[in-house]
Amino acid sequence: MAIMDLKFLVFLIALLLVWETQVQAETKVFNVINYGAVADGSKDNAQAFLDAWNDACQYEGNGRMYIPSGTYQLNHVQFKGPCNGGMEFMIQGTLKAPTDPKLFFVSETWINFQYVSALTIYGGGTLDGQGASAWKDNTCSTNPSCRTLPTALRLDFTNTSQIRDLVSLNSKNVHLTLYGCDNVEISNIKISAPGDSPNTDGIKMAKSKNIRIIHSDIGTGDDCIAMLDGLYDIQISGVTCGPGHGISIGSLADSRDIEDVSRITVRNCRLHDTTNGLRLKTWASPYKGRVFNLTYEDIVMENVQNPIIIDQNYCPHCRCNSTASSHVHISNVRFKNIRGTSSSEYAVTLNCSQARPCTDMRLEDIKLEYKSRGTPALSSCSHARGASYRPLRPLSCL
Ligand SMILES: *[C@@H]1O[C@H](CO)[C@@H](O)[C@H](O)[C@H]1NC(C)=O
Ligand SMILES: *[C@@H]1O[C@H](CO)[C@@H](O)[C@H](O)[C@H]1NC(C)=O
Ligand SMILES: *[C@@H]1O[C@H](CO)[C@@H](O)[C@H](O)[C@H]1NC(C)=O
Ligand SMILES: *[C@@H]1O[C@H](CO)[C@@H](O)[C@H](O)[C@H]1NC(C)=O
């Protein structure tokens, strides 16, 4: 019997080895240089990249599109699936976005992947959005019919994929957008833009599920992470945010009813020198929706203006009916072990909707200090129902 087991084990190991070598053998490299790409920092490489992608995508095994080190000028590109096998997009070099204003509005995305499965974007390279050339053209804070500057990297309807070991600098708009994605892991990425650059969100997501953002460093001029509607099973952990506007849900319900947002966990993160820490924002509008089952746990705040803030009366530029309040119902939100310093007096603000009060709110083990003139930090609640558990500083308003 023991000998049978041993034979079986040897057989299994052999099988595993054969399988592994096959997997290895199946990876074929498609080097952009062989498709005419030139790393001189000025020639546009869009066509060479698309040609390499098309061949890699048609390959029956694992296709690796390879971008060696060097600086590549790249205009707008759209990489489309479905592909015949797994896809790797391995960037060791630096990709530079256009600085010619004529090219800014060609598409709302600089580098776009659509309908791809089993995609891995990695390699330690850099996406340089060259945003400084375009931020002055962002007139959206004053002009409602403004044109949208491009997002640097966007994945649409892309499943079972990874983005790791990548740097994204100075995007003209959002650095990374996920839309309609399922099962994507983002890890070890660095996103960086100046604290005063307009609308340069780090990671923005909508209509997606099973997304993990881990071990990443984000500093921008807008939200480090922005979560819009139709999201569930989202895990964020080991993220450092600052400068920026914090880790946000919303703004929700500005123009229509929203799809549910639920099962979001933010754990073991550090926010420093941001305007907000953990923020949830819904417009004062008649549009309905639900946000529920959120957990924020083990978060450190350093010099954050609004460490915990729910604002359901959001209405910038007086676009809404001042007597209306949000119709989005927020429930079952837990803040646990949130510590550090607030740069404003109000460390905790739960400003919920009169029409749909927040329910099952839970504050637990909160220790936030207001570091100015020995004044204690304060908390403010309206239309928020729930419970709090010690120790609590500021004293809870729940
Ligand atoms: C990814 O999954 C979504 C639904 O979960 C589906 O609509 C979409 O077609 C899938 N995309 C691919 C490329 O398989
Ligand atoms: C939300 O949380 C409640 C309480 O923990 C649980 O009963 C419910 O099943 C959860 N809902 C979803 C959709 O996960
Ligand atoms: C809460 O919202 C109301 C309505 O917009 C506003 O008047 C009030 O100042 C807000 N409170 C805080 C603490 O933000
Ligand atoms: C503003 O909202 C209130 C309450 O929902 C409603 O009665 C009123 O008609 C609205 N006014 C306008 C101008 O939409």
Instruction: Say how far apart CA 184 and CA 120 lie, in whole Å.
Output: 10
Host domain of residue 294: 223-398
- Does residue 289 sit in the same domain as residue 340? yes
What global pTM score does this model have? 0.91
Query: What is the structure's pLDDT at 339?
Result: 96
Which of residues 196, 231, 264 is at a domain's end? Answer: 196
Does some domain include residue 1?
no
Q: How far apart are CA 295 and CA 301, in angstroms?
A: 16
Residue 389: both structure tokens together: 């558990």
For ligand 1, the distance from its centroid to the CA atom of residue 77, given in whole angstroms, is 21
Q: Considering the domain boundaries, does residue 40 fall inside one?
A: yes
CATH assignment at residue 117: 2.160.20.10
Splitting the chain (398 residues) into consecutive groups of 10 residues, what average pLDDT does each group show? 57 56 73 98 97 98 97 98 97 97 90 98 98 91 85 98 98 98 98 97 98 98 98 98 98 95 98 98 95 98 97 83 87 97 95 97 95 82 94 83
Question: Which ligand 1 atom lies nearest to the CA of residue 115?
Answer: 13
For residue 315, what pLDDT is reported? 87
Out of 285, 320, 321, 354, mutate this one to test ligand 4's pocket (max ligand atoms within 8 Å of CB): namely 321
Number of structural domains (the chain) is 2
Mean pLDDT for the chain? 93
Q: pLDDT (tens digit, 9 = 90+) per residue, 158-206?
A: 999 999 999 999 999 999 999 999 999 999 999 999 999 999 999 999 9
Let me know whether 151 and 278 are in one domain: no
Cα Rg for the chain, rounded, in angstroms? 23
The whole-number pLDDT of residue 1 equals 45
324 pocket-lining for ligand 4 (C-beta < 6 Å): yes
pLDDT at position 4: 55
187 and 237 within one domain: no
| Same domain? 248 vs 359 | yes
pLDDT at residue 177 in the model: 98
pLDDT at 104: 86
Residue 32's SS3 state is helix
Smallest CA-to-CA distance from 301 within 252, 266, 330, 261 is with: 266
How far is it, in rounded angstroms, from Cα 302 to Cα 282? Answer: 25
pLDDT digit string, tens, across residues 134-147: 999 888 878 878 88
